[in-house]
């Protein structure tokens, strides 16, 4: 539900406070993420000592467990002796104490808390153990990062007691949304229990309360089901895995290595118990009716064609083989869900419902008869009928289903909660129909997307989701009425793992964007401020360092801006966010260090150069924050005007002389940057401005045959002095059948020195994609990033 309880006057005062540069250092004392709803800074600090005591009312076992864990963490990380004592509610706290006081207060709700910190006493108030737990997470973030040590699993005892101080303040806090989730796909790549627990630790620190565990898909069934052992004997194991991105290679390349893994039911119980100590609910997802290949591999009779042989998918995508909506399938799914519900005590069961092709149902005589018998309009209504039947079963067990927004197709099941991922439209429509909604649109919440420049990022799905964009999201759509807005339960970040094979990469893709979404989910909208969030990130990164989290430093990446100069050079400007005071660079191929040249003004390049850049902060020795590099091309064509002989496509048009601006193209995931594409031939006439010696041309063609972008079959070069009469130089044969890994192929065309002002380059398309490639017979395209004249 949408909650914003802070008083208007206080909100206005706080906004004025954070916008005043004179008090930014004061705010740096309180680097809490997500930002509390109300925070009153005070002078002074509470200092932990050996003998600091946590006071907990008697007969409050959950509260005592929270206090015990906190005291143990402080003691082990600092070397101090911090104790917990149960007391009568009327007991008067002594000096240097932390008292936990349960209260009855509708303002705080089930998850809110108050925190009052003076130099002598810390008072924590909440109505439930969950509220106290979140208060403790805030305390952790107000303390030095050293208190987090190496994580709750292995924290070394300090050799000497550390000084542990908590800045004085008063906080009243409560979340904006009741659902604050993170998702993890363990089907495409499997993650062990230890990683799941660590993820839960990090979620708890940021006040997430829901872990969405994507346990089954086409590539692997990851949860033990006692009644159907072949699900894990067969369905959990694929014979090999695609190498690289889906479109990296043509033909696709596989590693030849068997891949598998699953969680036993005892391991699931262990994770559920652990999550409960972090006040995190787990939503298990069992995909249906699509994304079912792993299950069909184990039990092919659940398909619409039991005579076929199925196997877990070895690559990514959407597959046509889905569950058949017959009684055998429903008996199977009900058995599976019964075992799943016995393992997961939470309110929700996620049943998928997304990306279910209807081909198998259209071809199935049984399905067509079922559509007629039930009076359904088509296969979309058959899916709705399928979901409704599962919904009734789950509802009768006292639970509720969640489904991806495709469950709206054909009519949504009456009790279903909709998870809106294909943008916001599905969530808005579901809220208008008075269905509960969890917003998770890919543009803001898909953590498998790239975080910055595709040329600098490790492999991801595609699309670009910078930290600032994730932070900017508002889950409550303005076009909904206040009554409809009540159905927006919250927001969730999703980590799909097609291109995330291990914990290191999972960390990189998740953090710090998950921290941004934590603030989206918790903090009142009027208090969100990206600049303030950015300042708090510095302390946040130190915490993540202490927890050995391989977070992304893209936040610090300097950005390149390049333009050609009138005299044919490339001017390269560098910029970074306000928290990067020092940029160093090299032009000779060496790795930049704190001793490299300091960036002061735009760089003028008179030859093709790889510019390598590093961001630093702090006094010497400088602390390196990030490093990036980019190639720039300088030739006689740089900055020169040209005209196209054939119009570029509308998909990748020419925006501002892209072919001679000195910037090379980039790729990442499905993303291609700084290229111009052509549906057939490519031709350009470059005006060098005056007659001068020329002896060669080089053109950067994009070889991306999985997307039908082929090299040309030949390139024709001609020159002219007046731009009207051209004399042919040569025709160069090329290899349009070259496939393999996608890349920019810079084809050189050298010829005897001549003098000319105009250079004409025509590249002839192969026409149709050659037979050796993934899409033979399709119309071939060409794409170019830069043209050089030497």
pLDDT in tens, 126-148: 999 999 999 999 999 999 999 99
Reported as a pLDDT band with limits 50, 70 and 90, residue 25 is low
Taking the C-alpha atoms of 265, 269, 270 and 271 in order, what is their torsion angle to the nearest 10 degrees? 100
Q: Which two tokens stand for residue 43?
A: 């002078």
Are residues 667 and 457 in contact, defined by beta-carbon separation less than 8 angstroms? no
> Could you say which architecture CATH assigns to the domain 38-173?
2-Layer Sandwich (3.30)
Taking residues 28-32, report their average pLDDT.
92
Question: What pLDDT, on the 0 to 100 scale, is given for residue 368?
Answer: 98
Per cent of the chain over pLDDT 70 is: 94
**4 pLDDT higher than 50:** no
Return the CATH number of the domain spanning residue range 557-632. Answer: 2.60.40
State yes or no: pLDDT of 150 exceeds 60.
Answer: no
pLDDT value of position 619: 66
Is the whole-model pTM more than 0.85?
A: yes
User: At 398, is the pLDDT very low, low, confident or very high (cuts 50, 70, 90)?
Assistant: very high
What confidence tens digit (pLDDT) does each residue in 555-573 have? 999 999 999 999 999 999 9
Pairing of strands 400-404, 348-352: parallel
Beta carbons within 8 Å of 234's beta carbon, 6+ residues apart: 297, 298, 312
pLDDT the model gives residue 326: 97
pLDDT tens profile 730-763: 999 999 999 999 999 999 999 999 999 999 999 9
Could you read off the pLDDT of 461-496 as tens digits, one per residue?
A: 989 999 999 999 999 999 999 999 999 999 999 999
Question: What's residue 409's pLDDT?
Answer: 85
13 Cβ contact partners less than 8 Å away, ≥ 6 residues apart = none
User: In Å, what is the CA distance from 283 to each residue of 96, 160, 346, 752?
Assistant: 41, 43, 7, 69
| CA atoms 56, 59, 65, 66: torsion sign | negative
Higher-pLDDT residue of 23, 505: 505
Q: Could you tell me if 34 and 522 are in contact, meaning their C-beta atoms sit under 8 angstroms apart?
A: yes
Q: Which two tokens stand for residue 317?
A: 């995508």
Query: What was the pLDDT predicted at 522?
Result: 98
* Contact yes or no for 283/181 (Cβ under 8 A): yes
Q: How buried is 429 (Cβ within 10 angstroms: 0-12 exposed, 13-18 middle, 19+ buried)?
A: middle
Average pLDDT over every residue of 675-692: 97
Confidence of residue 22 (pLDDT cuts 50, 70, 90): very low
**Catalytic residue status for 786:** no
pLDDT tens per residue, range 291-340: 999 999 999 999 999 889 999 999 999 999 999 999 999 999 999 999 99
Whole-number pLDDT of residue 670:
81
pLDDT for 13 beyond 50: no
Phi then psi dihedrals of residue 514, to 5 deg: -65, -35
Residue 655 pLDDT greater than 90, yes or no:
no
**103-107 average pLDDT score:** 93
What was the pLDDT predicted at 578? 82
Question: What is the arithmetic mean of pLDDT over 162-180?
Answer: 96
Domain 642-789 of CATH type 2.60.120.260? yes
- The pLDDT assigned to 95 comes to 86
Question: Which tens digit of pLDDT belongs to each residue from 173-219?
Answer: 999 999 999 999 999 999 999 999 999 999 999 999 999 999 999 99
From CA 648, how far away is CA 635, in angstroms rounded? 23
The number of CA neighbours under 13 Å toward the Cβ of 255 is 14
Question: Average pLDDT in the 235-254 region?
Answer: 96
Output DSSP code: residue 450: B
pLDDT in tens, 308-317: 999 999 999 9
Supply the DSSP string of 477-522, one letter for each residue: -TTS-HHHHTTEEEEEEEE--TT--SHHHHHHHHTTHHHHHHHHHH
pLDDT at 676 over 60: yes
Q: Would you say 706 and 247 are in contact if contact means Cβ atoms under 8 Å apart?
A: yes
Q: Which residues have C-beta within 8 Å of that of residue 732, sequence separation ≥ 6?
A: 714, 715, 716, 717, 747, 749
Helix, strand and coil in the chain, % to nearest 5: 25, 30, 45
**pLDDT tier at 378, thresholds 50, 70, 90:** very high
Q: Which of 27-41, 609-623, 651-665 has the lowest mean pLDDT?
A: 609-623
**pLDDT for position 214:** 98
At residue 656, the pLDDT reads: 81
User: How far is 367 from 325, CA to CA, in rounded Å?
Assistant: 7
- Please tell me whether the peptide bond between 34 and the residue prior to it is cis, using omega within 30 degrees of 0: yes
Q: What is the pLDDT of residue 21?
A: 44
For the ranges 113-122, 297-306, 500-509, 613-622, the lowest mean pLDDT is seen at 613-622
For 179-552, give the CATH class.
alpha beta
Domains of the chain, by residue range, sit at 38-173, 179-552, 557-632, 642-789
Distance CA 131, CA 522 (A): 13
Per residue in 572-608, pLDDT (tens digit) is: 999 998 888 899 999 999 999 989 999 999 999 999 9
Q: Which of 45, 355, 381, 409 is catalytic?
A: 355
């Amino acid at each position: 539900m949408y909650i914003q309880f802070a008083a208007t006057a206080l909100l206005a005062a706080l906004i004025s406070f954070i916008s005043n540069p004179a008090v930014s250092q004061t705010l740096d004392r309180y680097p809490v993420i997500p930002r509390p709803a109300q925070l009153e800074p005070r002078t002074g600090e509470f200092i932990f000592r050996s003998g600091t005591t946590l006071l907990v009312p008697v007969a409050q076992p959950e509260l005592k467990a929270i206090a015990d864990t906190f005291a143990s963490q402080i003691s082990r990380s600092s070397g101090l002796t911090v104790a917990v004592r149960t007391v009568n509610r009327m007991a008067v706290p002594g000096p240097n104490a932390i008292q936990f006081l349960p209260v009855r207060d509708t303002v705080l709700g089930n998850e809110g808390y108050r925190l009052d910190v003076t130099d002598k006493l810390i008072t924590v108030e909440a109505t439930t153990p969950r509220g106290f737990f979140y208060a403790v997470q805030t305390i952790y973030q107000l303390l030095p990062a050293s208190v987090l040590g190496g994580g709750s699993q292995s924290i070394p005892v300090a050799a000497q007691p550390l000084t542990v101080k908590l800045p004085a303040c008063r906080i009243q806090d409560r979340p904006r949304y009741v659902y604050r989730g993170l998702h993890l796909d363990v089907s495409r790549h499997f993650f062990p229990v230890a990683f799941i627990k660590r993820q839960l630790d990090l979620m708890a620190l940021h006040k997430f309360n829901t872990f969405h565990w994507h346990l089954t898909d086409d590539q692997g069934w990851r949860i033990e089901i006692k009644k159907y052992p072949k699900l894990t004997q067969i369905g959990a194991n694929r014979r090999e895995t695609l190498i690289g991105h889906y479109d990296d290679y043509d033909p696709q390349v596989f590693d030849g290595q068997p891949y598998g893994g699953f969680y036993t039911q005892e391991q699931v119980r262990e994770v559920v118990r652990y999550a409960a100590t972090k006040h995190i609910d787990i939503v298990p997802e069992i995909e249906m009716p699509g994304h079912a290949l792993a299950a069909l591999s184990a039990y092919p009779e659940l398909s619409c064609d039991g005579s076929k042989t199925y196997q877990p998918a070895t690559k990514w995508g959407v597959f046509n083989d889905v569950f058949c909506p017959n009684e055998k399938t429903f008996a199977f799914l009900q058995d599976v869900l019964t075992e799943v519900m016995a393992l997961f005590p939470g309110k929700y069961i996620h049943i998928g419902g997304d990306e279910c092709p209807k081909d198998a149902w259209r071809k199935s005589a049984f399905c067509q008869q079922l559509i007629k018998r039930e009076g359904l309009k088509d296969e979309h209504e058959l899916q709705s009928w399928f979901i409704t039947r599962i919904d009734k079963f789950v509802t009768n067990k006292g639970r509720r289903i969640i489904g991806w927004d495709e469950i709206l197709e054909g009519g949504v099941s009456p009790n279903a909660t909709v998870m809106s991922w294909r943008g916001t439209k599905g969530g808005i429509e579901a809220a208008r129909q008075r269905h509960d909604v969890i917003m998770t649109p890919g543009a803001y919440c898909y953590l498998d997307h790239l975080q910055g420049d595709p040329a600098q990022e490790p492999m991801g799905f595609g699309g670009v989701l910078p930290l600032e964009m994730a932070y900017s999201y508002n889950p409550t759509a303005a076009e909904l009425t206040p009554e409809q807005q009540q159905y927006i339960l919250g927001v969730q970040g999703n980590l799909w793992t097609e291109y995330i094979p291990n914990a290191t990469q999972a960390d990189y893709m998740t953090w710090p964007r998950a921290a941004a979404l934590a603030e989206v989910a918790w903090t009142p909208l009027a208090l969100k401020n990206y600049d303030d969030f950015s300042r708090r990130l510095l302390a946040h990164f130190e915490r993540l360092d202490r927890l050995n989290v391989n977070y992304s430093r893209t936040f610090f990446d300097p950005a390149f801006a390049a333009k050609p100069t009138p005299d044919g050079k490339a001017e390269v400007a560098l910029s970074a966010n306000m928290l990067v005071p020092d940029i160093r660079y090299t032009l000779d191929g060496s790795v930049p260090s704190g001793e490299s040249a300091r960036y002061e003004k735009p760089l003028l390049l008179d030859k093709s150069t790889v510019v390598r850049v590093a961001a630093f902060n702090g006094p010497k020795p400088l602390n390196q924050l990030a490093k990036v590099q980019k190639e720039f091309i300088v030739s006689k064509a740089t900055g020169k005007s040209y005209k196209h002989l054939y119009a570029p496509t509308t998909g990748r048009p020419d925006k501002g002389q892209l072919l001679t601006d000195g910037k090379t193209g980039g790729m990442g995931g499905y993303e291609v940057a700084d290229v111009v594409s052509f549906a057939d031939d490519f031709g350009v006439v470059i005006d060098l401005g005056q007659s001068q010696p020329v002896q060669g041309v080089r053109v950067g063609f994009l070889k991306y045959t999985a997307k039908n972008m082929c090299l040309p079959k030949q390139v024709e070069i001609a020159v002219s002095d007046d731009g009207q009469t051209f004399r042919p130089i040569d025709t160069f044969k090329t290899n349009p059948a070259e496939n393999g890994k996608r890349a920019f192929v810079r084809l050189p065309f050298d010829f005897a020195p001549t003098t000319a002002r105009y250079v004409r380059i025509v590249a002839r398309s192969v026409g149709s994609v050659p037979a050796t490639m993934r899409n033979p017979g399709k119309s071939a395209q060409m794409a170019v990033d830069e043209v050089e004249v030497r």
